[in-house]
Amino acid sequence: MPTNSSSASPSPSAKQFEISRTFDAPRDLVFRAFAEAERLAQWWGPKGFEIEVKKLEFRPGGIFHYRMVGPGGNDMWGRFIYREIVAPERIVWVNSFSDPEGGLTRAPFAETFPAEILNVMTLTEQDGKTTLSLRGGPIGATAEEQQFFEGMFASMRQGFGGTWDQLEAYLAKEQRKA
Cα–Cα distance between 107 and 71 in angstroms, integer? Answer: 18
Instruction: Pick the closest to residue 153 from 135, 168, 141, 170 (CA basis).
Output: 135
Nearby residues of 150 by Cβ (< 8 Å), 6 or more positions away: 15
Cα–Cα distance between 146 and 150 in angstroms, integer? Answer: 6
Q: What is the model's pLDDT at position 122?
A: 98
Q: What is the model's pLDDT at position 11?
A: 62
Q: Which helix (H) or strand (E) holds 79?
A: strand 75-86
Evaluate the CA torsion angle 112, 85, 65, 36 in order and state its sign. negative
Residues of the chain with pLDDT below 70 are: 1-13
Instruction: Pick the closest to residue 47 from 22, 31, 68, 32 (CA basis).
Output: 68
Nearest-5° Cα angle at 83, 118 to 65: 80
- Which domains, and CATH codes, for the chain? 17-177 (3.30.530.20)
How many C-beta neighbours within 10 Å does residue 178 have?
6
Instruction: Pick the closest to residue 30 from 152, 130, 151, 144 (CA basis).
Output: 130
Residue type, 107: A
